[in-house]
């Protein structure tokens, strides 16, 4: 049984170099076991043109912004080799123009790719990006717009990682508790906001898998939020349902919900969601096919895995969260999948 789990984000973190410099390293990035077709000829032309513009005008925030955003979207589609290049271009753009709130928000959110994997190497930079975006408004999170509040939650997550990295674990845990309490207050104040529900559910499952105490309570909270998301998916923000930029968001969220049900031994409810996910909704993507295979595997082992808290944090959002939602052509693999490894069916095949 494949049992490999991610490291706990708030313990045993080694010191890492935090770089806020503005030099862009073209084409460098961490190797990740994400399978994606290579960039096509047109994509290479666009990327090379934007790189050339930065070489010609290395201090131009517009050129840096254009390169960073393009490389960011390609990273989100599965081209993880462009991740560092995207980060550095966006950091340089923001340093050159700190008034660019769009770049500040995008950069902060983009760093979540590292945070959910327990990678703290950009945690301090993430805090910087979000503080630049929010300014003094961060002092009153309950008064923020939904977009601003989402940014505030991730800025607190980044702050907790920075504290943990510096060995201040108690302060990191206190930061997490404040984040959780504020999330619940915000949801209570706007209970029909589906985006906030999904945000709170994701945090609940993430912390259930990465903190030693309160696992069941957090799983119950995550299940409550994601069951609401399932019932009211039609009201989710349009961007999160965009078939081009976010083709797999629903499947990702619903697999999380099913895993939560299974961890709580609510097997009838888990079965209902797994059965839904076992059939690929159009348009098909490799990630949807992988989630369908995972759902079929769960249906075969429901009793065996019922009550297993090691299902947290849920695959596939535990390692490649951003790619999972955004990729139309990439596949993410089962390296962190807990339980018997799923069997992928050939396209068009059925059981």
Say whether both 209 and 351 belong to one domain: yes
Say whether both 208 and 338 belong to one domain: yes
* 253 assigned to some structural domain: yes
Say whether both 183 and 204 belong to one domain: no
Say whether both 219 and 335 belong to one domain: yes
Say whether both 318 and 212 belong to one domain: yes
* 66 assigned to some structural domain: yes
Say whether both 292 and 327 belong to one domain: yes
CA 72 to centroid of chain Cα atoms: 14
Say whether both 186 and 206 belong to one domain: no
Model confidence, pTM: 0.83
* 164 assigned to some structural domain: yes
What's the pLDDT at 168?
Answer: 95
* 1 assigned to some structural domain: no
* 57 assigned to some structural domain: yes
* 165 assigned to some structural domain: yes
- Tokens representing residue 343 in the block: 């069997």
Picking from 62, 97, 132, the residue at the C-terminal end of a domain is 97
What's the pLDDT at 308?
Answer: 97
Q: How many domains does the chain have?
A: 3
Tens-place pLDDT, residues 192-215: 999 999 999 999 999 999 898 999
Say whether both 265 and 342 belong to one domain: yes
* 17 assigned to some structural domain: no
Say whether both 114 and 221 belong to one domain: no
What's the pLDDT at 333?
Answer: 80
Say whether both 147 and 218 belong to one domain: no
- Cβ count within 10 A of residue 148: 16
Say whether both 59 and 128 belong to one domain: no
- Tokens representing residue 222 in the block: 């995550």
* 207 assigned to some structural domain: yes
Contact (CB, 8 A) for 290 and 332: yes
- Tokens representing residue 54 in the block: 């930065």
Domain coverage including residue 166: 109-190
Determine the Cα–Cα distance for residues 143 and 211; give it in Å rounded to an integer.
29
Picking from 53, 76, 97, the residue at the C-terminal end of a domain is 97
pLDDT in tens, the chain (351 residues): 333 333 344 433 332 222 222 333 333 333 344 678 899 999 999 999 999 999 999 999 999 999 999 999 999 888 989 999 999 999 999 999 999 999 999 999 999 888 877 788 999 999 999 999 999 999 999 999 999 999 999 999 999 988 988 999 999 999 999 999 999 999 999 999 999 999 999 999 999 998 989 999 999 999 999 999 999 999 999 988 888 888 899 999 999 999 999 999 999 999 999 999 999 999 899 999 999 999 999 999 999 999 999 999 999 887 666 777 877 777 888 888 999 988 875 444 444
Picking from 165, 190, 215, the residue at the C-terminal end of a domain is 190
Say whether both 73 and 152 belong to one domain: no
């Amino acid at each position: 049984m494949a049992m490999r789990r991610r490291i706990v984000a708030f313990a045993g973190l080694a010191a890492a170099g935090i770089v806020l410099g503005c030099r862009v390293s073209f084409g460098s990035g961490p190797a990740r076991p994400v399978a994606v077709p290579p960039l096509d000829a047109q994509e290479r032309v666009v990327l090379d043109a934007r790189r050339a513009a930065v070489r010609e005008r290395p201090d131009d925030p517009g050129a840096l912004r254009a390169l960073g955003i393009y490389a960011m979207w390609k990273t989100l589609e599965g081209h993880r080799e462009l991740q560092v290049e995207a980060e550095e271009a966006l950091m340089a753009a923001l340093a050159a123009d700190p008034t660019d709130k769009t770049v500040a928000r995008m950069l902060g959110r983009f760093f979540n790719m590292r945070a959910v994997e327990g990678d703290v190497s950009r945690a301090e930079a993430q805090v910087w990006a979000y503080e630049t975006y929010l300014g003094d408004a961060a002092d009153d999170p309950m008064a923020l717009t939904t977009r601003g509040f989402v940014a505030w939650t991730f800025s607190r997550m980044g702050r907790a990682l920075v504290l943990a990295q510096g060995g201040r674990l108690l302060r990191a845990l206190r930061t997490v508790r404040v984040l959780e309490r504020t999330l619940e207050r915000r949801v209570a104040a706007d209970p029909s906001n589906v985006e906030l529900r999904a945000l709170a559910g994701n945090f609940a499952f993430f912390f259930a898998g990465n903190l030693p105490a309160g696992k069941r309570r957090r799983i119950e909270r995550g299940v409550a939020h994601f069951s609401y998301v399932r019932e009211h998916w039609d009201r989710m923000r349009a961007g999160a349902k965009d078939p081009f930029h976010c083709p797999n968001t629903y499947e990702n969220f619903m697999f999380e919900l099913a895993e939560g049900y299974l961890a709580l031994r609510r097997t009838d409810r888990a079965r209902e969601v797994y059965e839904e996910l076992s059939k690929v909704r159009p348009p098909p993507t490799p990630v949807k096919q992988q989630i369908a295979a995972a759902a079929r595997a769960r249906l075969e082992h429901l009793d065996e895995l019922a009550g297993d808290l090691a299902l947290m944090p849920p695959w596939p959002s535990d390692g490649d969260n951003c790619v999972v939602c955004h990729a139309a052509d990439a596949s993410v693999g089962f390296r962190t999948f807990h339980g018997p490894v799923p069997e992928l069916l050939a396209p068009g095949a059925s059981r």
